[in-house]
A and B are shown apart, each in its own frame.
Chain A
Amino acid sequence: MDQVVDGLNPWGPKLGDAADVLGAPLYLTGEESLLVTVFNGLAGVTVKISGRTLPLGATRPVPFKQTFTPTSNRAASTQLIPLGDGWLLNAEVIITAGSPLMGQTFAKMSLVRGLTSVAEDLYTLAADNVTAQQTCAWPGSGVQGSLDGAGALRSVTGTDPAAGAECSDTVPTGARWQLHAWNVQLVTSAVVANRAATIVIDDGANVLYQAGDGVVQTASTTIRHVFGEGVGFWGNPNGVFLGTLPQKLQLLAGWRIRTITQAIDVGDNYGPPQLLVEEWMEAS
């Protein structure tokens, strides 16, 4: 079909009949690029960016495609795709390698002016979590927040501390966690003392929450200390002490989940904590 060009129109060339079948194309002067920013927390992920443009003077859409591997440390990874002049018809981001859960990879597509790292952001086309089955697409996805919806459930194995040391695990940079459950095994030495293990949530400096499980652990015993959302205290001398966590406790990057143990001995030995968390990309 012929393209009608009207040089007197201050808004640029007209698409003519093509406008009726091409949805809501975005006019490009040739100075704009597509900037894709990805926040990813899973190793082995490959992202594909694809779409179509209608170059000025062309009568058929031209597809484009590019893949890249974002970092897996939740830092921003970017790809800049020159678009030429004409019209952007559609674009999408999808995972083509790796299996991130919803919440582990978040993508944003923007129209920017320029081709360098200081390109000016003009318009956010779309933003959403992406997986191998769910795209972030324009038009279609809209602009979603990285904290919207359910996060990715994760079972995290923390640091196994040295003998006599406390447990401590930190919410990683770029992540937001909701702590659902936490447990750790403590093997006490033969030194006689009543150990009282408590879980502590702090912001890296200030204690926000501290709770025990209501029972002391004596010498030469092995006890698993378990804390869960909304549960009460319960002590089973055969091996499990149960304590409570606040419900819907969300933690920012740099906040810590750790222990303070009254009467801990140099020979006492915590194992690695196991955390059940729900994680989102903070995308900040």
Chain B
Amino acid sequence: MTKCNACGGVYDTAQPDGTSYFHRCPPLSHSELDAAVKAGKVQLPAGETVDDAILRRTYERGNMRDENLVATSGPGAQQIKAAGDGTSNAAAAAGAGVVIVPK
């Protein structure tokens, strides 16, 4: 399993059906935007709350990772859209998948 260092998301780049999975960081959630506002990283328009902001626009991470290819041919077929902060190895989630119960 792979962990994105930018958003903390965990994913498997090789799907069980043999295809590949390409991660892209999600936009900030309400709680993440709230933390960013309190930390001074984001300034909301006057009179706007975090509740308003999260519905009115999308807040993307500055260190967003997007593993999708730039293009399907030419030089872009060899490049991902954004490396972000890279990745780390991660253990599979506990309790995930199929559990075989002995007879």
A contact residues vs B (CB 8 Å cutoff) = 39, 41-44, 71-76, 98, 104, 154-162, 164-170, 172-174, 202, 205, 253-254, 256, 258, 260-266, 268, 271-272, 282-284
CB contact under 8 A between A162 and B8, given known A173-B22, A265-B31: yes
CB-based contact A161/B15 at 8 Å: no
User: Can you pick out 25 interface pairs between chain A and chain B where the beta carbons lie within 8 Å of each other?
Assistant: A44-B18, A71-B77, A72-B19, A72-B20, A73-B20, A157-B11, A157-B12, A157-B21, A160-B9, A161-B9, A165-B8, A165-B26, A168-B24, A168-B25, A169-B24, A170-B24, A172-B68, A172-B69, A173-B68, A202-B58, A254-B68, A260-B29, A260-B30, A260-B55, A282-B72
| B83 in contact (CB, < 8 A) | no
Query: Whole-angstrom distance between the alpha carbons of A43 and B8 in the complex?
Result: 26
Query: Whole-angstrom distance between the alpha carbons of A228 and B29 in the complex?
Result: 24
Chain A residues near B72 (CB, 8 Å)? Answer: 39, 74-76, 173-174, 282-284
Residue of B nearest to A266 (CB): B31
Query: Whole-angstrom distance between the alpha carbons of A159 and B27 in the complex?
Result: 13
A to B contact number (C-beta, < 8 Å): 128
| B73 in contact (CB, < 8 A) | yes
Query: Whole-angstrom distance between the alpha carbons of A263 and B88 in the complex?
Result: 30
Query: Whole-angstrom distance between the alpha carbons of A256 and B18 in the complex?
Result: 22
| B44 in contact (CB, < 8 A) | no
Chain A residues near B22 (CB, 8 Å)? Answer: 73, 170, 172-173
B contact residues vs A (CB 8 Å cutoff) = 4, 7-12, 14-27, 29-32, 35, 51, 54-55, 58, 66, 68-73, 77, 93
Residue of A nearest to B90 (CB): A160
Query: Whole-angstrom distance between the alpha carbons of A76 and B24 in the complex?
Result: 22
Interface SS majority for chain A: loop
CB-based contact A253/B29 at 8 Å: no
B11, B30, B70 — which one has the most chain A CB atoms within 10 A of its CB?
B30
Query: Whole-angstrom distance between the alpha carbons of A75 and B18 in the complex?
Result: 16
Nearest 3 CB-CB pairings of A with B? A162-B8, A168-B26, A75-B77
Interface SS majority for chain B: loop
Question: Smallest distance from the beta carbon of A267 to chain B beta carbons, Å?
Answer: 9
Chain A residues near B15 (CB, 8 Å)? Answer: 154, 156-157
Chain B residues near A167 (CB, 8 Å)? Answer: 26
Question: Smallest distance from the beta carbon of B68 to chain A beta carbons, Å?
Answer: 5
Chain A residues near B18 (CB, 8 Å)? Answer: 42-44, 72, 98
Query: Whole-angstrom distance between the alpha carbons of A73 and B22 in the complex?
Result: 9
Chain A residues near B73 (CB, 8 Å)? Answer: 75-76
CB contact under 8 A between A261 and B24, given known A41-B19, A76-B72, A254-B68: no
Chain A residues near B29 (CB, 8 Å)? Answer: 164-166, 260-261, 264
CB-based contact A165/B10 at 8 Å: no
| Interface residue from A156, A268, A271 paired with B21 (Cβ < 8 Å) | A156
CB-based contact A43/B14 at 8 Å: yes
CB-based contact B68/A264 at 8 Å: no
